[in-house]
Amino acid sequence: MSDTLARLEAVIAERRRADPSASYVAKLAARGRAKIAQKLGEEAVETVIAAMQGDPAGLTGEAADLLFHLLVLLGDAGVPLADVLAELDRREGVSGLTEKAARPKE
């Protein structure tokens, strides 16, 4: 599964340098990080809507759009996918409830 994401990360890194008139990734990169972040937010909302509508096919497509735009944003920010996956690995087996209970009191 993460092979697919790793391949997509590499494609995005390469396409960032392409002609914006021939590449969606290059066009989005040229518009800057705020635009990329806005697109990610829009895709997140569309994902939520598809889930709440009980539309599995729609949710699949929107989730793919969401992951793609997340990789575009990570690439723009210079954060490797491997770092995100390593963070998930680090959390593996630690209950979210246990982790939350162990947080310092504010």
Residues that bind ligand PRT (CB under 6 A): 8, 11, 15, 23-26, 39, 65, 68
Closest CA to 29 of 10, 41, 13: 13
Considering the complex, state which of residue 34 and residue 101 has its C-beta at the smaller distance from ligand PRT: 34
Smallest separation (angstroms) from ligand PRT to the CB of 27? 8
Closer to ligand PRT at the Cβ: 44 or 84? 44
Q: Of the two residues 80 and 94, which places its CB atom closer to ligand PRT in the complex?
A: 80
Supply the minimum distance, in Å, between the C-beta of residue 87 and ligand PRT: 23
For residue 95, the minimal CB distance to ligand PRT (Å) is 33
Cβ closer to ligand PRT: 60 or 86? 60
* Structure tokens belonging to residue 17: 């340098």
**Smallest distance, Å, CB 15 to ligand PRT?**
4
> How many residues comprise the chain?
106
- Contact indicator for 3, 86 with CB cutoff of 8 Å: no
Q: CA-to-CA distance for 104 and 41, rounded, in angstroms? A: 30
Tokens coding 42? 């829009």
How far apart are the C-alpha atoms of 10 and 21, rounded to whole Å? 20
